[in-house]
Structure formats: structure tokens, C-alpha cells
Amino acid sequence: MTSFASDNYSGVHPEILAALAAANEGHQPSYGGDVYTSRLQDAVREVFGPPARVYPVFNGTGANVVALSAACDRWASVICSSSAHIHVDECGAPEKVAGIKLLPVPAEHGKLTVDAIRREARGFDDEHRAQPQVVSLTQSTELGTVYTPDEIGTIAEFAHAHGMRVHVDGARLANAAAHLRVPLRAFTTDVGVDILSFGGTKNGALLGEAVVVLNPELDRGMAYLRKSAMQLASKMRFVSAQFLALFEGDLWLRNASHANDMAARLHERVRDRVEVSHPVQANAVFARVPEAALAELHSRFRFYDWDESVGEVRWMTSFDTTPEDVDQFAEAVRAALA
């Protein structure tokens, strides 16, 4: 069954499988003392700039918990969009595991603005209020939209002026870079982002994400935070080797560009028949589809109903989605609507 449910449904890219096989030769020191993790530090500094330091972890929720813990005091709160993954899809992990209060605010098409952030950027020095210390963005957003470098820079300038730091949930950071056609550092390091996660699983990896610290002030204690959050891999070489395969040769960009292209292809083929809910900028298409047509499509393809109250669905593409997959699905959409 062809899936348009999630880029998590895809397999592992052959180049990453080959990298894992190569890393399997011989013995290497555990817990990050291996040559692959050492090389990964160099690769990440080349991409994000000299201050960057990387901490491989198991999964995206763990990456967010570790990163936010590094950026927050125990009495802190985090301002995020109401659709943010940390708020909607992580079973309260930032609040339960890290003890951080989340302050969600409305965000059109999933993108925060300074005006939206102002709603909760208040009560500083009020001991009765969890102190806003971080603004968390998702890039690309949960609704498939992408912040420009200027937009992130404006938010970072506002956050820093109010003593707050900027965190980016980058589960699909590669897709944002592919859309923007700029280097990763252009909308992270260069515009004031303090800490981020970089997604591997949704971009061809077997498992693993990476926390990238851009503000050296947040690096103190990261090793302990990762361990206490149960995100320290003993055989870390197998996580790091995947990211090396992604960064060396720009596989991360090739995979993300292809996924984006397939979403654009799908959008082009169905936009005259369905109402598209959000701009198609990364590898997701959100559309409103009549209930009768949904039943027919669900019988043949996997995808998620996003907002059943309005018949909104989400169609995701990935690095291994083919043009034939897209055309077959688009034809099925058109037939179901007919």
C-alpha cells in the first residue's frame, strides 16, 4: 500500500544503510568516544558554523526535551504555537520530563509572529508566573510552511531583547532549507537561533536526531542533560554514522529536495479539485476533502485525517516517493471527487 501518511513511513536510504554497514566493522569506544561522532562534530561545524556542537540522540521528542532543558531554568516557560509538536504530539514530555510550562499561542499557518509571542511574553520577574525564557519555533512547521531567515531573525531579535532564547524544532529542517535554497546556517546560526534539533528519521535515517547547540552558553551540562533524559546511546557510532552520511555529500539536501518536489507535484495535480488549507512549501499538502471521497481514498492509501470537523487531511511525501506514486494518488483523488 502506497503511503502518504508520514515521512516516518519511509524506509532507510541505501547510502545510510551502507554507512551503517561500514560503521559495523570492528570495535569503537562507546558513548560517543568513537571516530564517527568525532567526525560528526567537524561536519556540523562546517554546516552551522564554528560555535556549533552536536549531541546525537534517539528521537525527536528526546531531542526537544534535552534542548529545552538546556535553554531553561526549572521555573521557566516556553512560548510555542498552538500547533507545535512539543504541545500537541509529545504526550506532555517537555512538561512531565523537563518540568517546563508550555505557553501555546495561535499561529496562522503554524508560524509564530512577534505579535503572537507578545501575548505570553509578559510577567517577567513575577514569582507567581512561570518565567518565559524560550521561544520555540518549528521549521518547517507542523502545517508544512516555512519561516524565512528574516522572519526568524525578527523573532530572535525580539526574544533576545526580552531575555529569552530561541529553540527550533528541526525535525524537517532539511525540507525548510530545500525550499528556501539557502544554507542551513542562514536561518539558524546567522539570525540568532540558540539551539535546535536536526531531524534524521524523516529524512532517510533508520533512527536518531541531533541536538545542535549554537549558543555556547547552553553547552554547559548538555552531556548530563542528555544522559538524565535517557537519550545517551552506548553504541553512538551507529547514530552518528547516519548523520555523517547525510551531511557528507549533501544527502540531507537531496532527500529533502526530492520530498518537497513530490509534494509540489501532488499539489499541482489536485489543487483544481480540492481546497488546499495551507501554502505548500515543504513536503506536506493539507487539503479539505468531502467525507464520501475520503472513504474511497482510505481504502487504497494511508494518510491522516488532520481536522475531521472540517474534513481536512494531511498528505506527506518522502525521499522515496516516486512521481508514479504521486500521479497514481492524484488520479485516485480526482476520481473519488468525481
The CB-based long-range contact list for 50-54 (8 Å cut-off, 24+ gap) reads: 51/189, 51/214, 51/215, 51/216, 52/189, 52/212, 52/213, 52/214, 53/212, 53/213, 53/216, 53/219, 53/222, 54/198, 54/210, 54/211, 54/212, 54/213, 54/243
Query: How do 312-316 and 284-288 pair as beta strands?
Result: antiparallel
Per-residue pLDDT, 98 = 94
Indicate the pLDDT class of residue 2, thresholds 50, 70 and 90: confident
Chain mean pLDDT for the chain: 97
Distance, in Å, from the CA atom of 101 to the CA atom of 52, rounded to the nearest integer, reads: 27
pLDDT tens, residue by residue, 269-289? 999 999 999 999 999 999 999
Domains, the chain: 13-247 (3.40.640.10), 251-337 (3.90.1150.10)
Grid coordinates representing 117 are: 509571542
Beta bridge mates, 80: 104
Per-residue pLDDT, 131 = 98
Indicate the pLDDT class of residue 46, thresholds 50, 70 and 90: very high
Distance, in Å, from the CA atom of 135 to the CA atom of 169, rounded to the nearest integer, reads: 11
User: Please, are residues 110 and 142 in contact by the beta-carbon 8 Å criterion?
Assistant: yes
Distance, in Å, from the CA atom of 63 to the CA atom of 76, rounded to the nearest integer, reads: 18
Q: Is 74 strand, coil or helix?
A: coil
Q: Is the peptide bond before 140 cis (omega within 30 degrees of 0)?
A: yes
241: pLDDT strictly greater than 90: yes
Per-residue pLDDT, 269 = 97
Per-residue pLDDT, 1 = 65
pLDDT tens, residue by residue, 189-221? 999 999 999 999 999 999 999 999 999 999 999
32: pLDDT strictly greater than 80: yes
pLDDT tens, residue by residue, 151-169? 999 999 999 999 999 999 9
Per-residue pLDDT, 338 = 86
Least confident of 49-53, 88-92, 112-116, 296-300: 296-300
> With pLDDT > 70 as the criterion, what percentage of the chain qualifies?
100
pLDDT tens, residue by residue, 60-95? 999 999 999 999 999 999 999 999 999 999 999 999
User: Please, are residues 192 and 157 in contact by the beta-carbon 8 Å criterion?
Assistant: yes
Distance, in Å, from the CA atom of 139 to the CA atom of 180, rounded to the nearest integer, reads: 11
Phi, psi of 73 (to 5 degrees): -85, 170
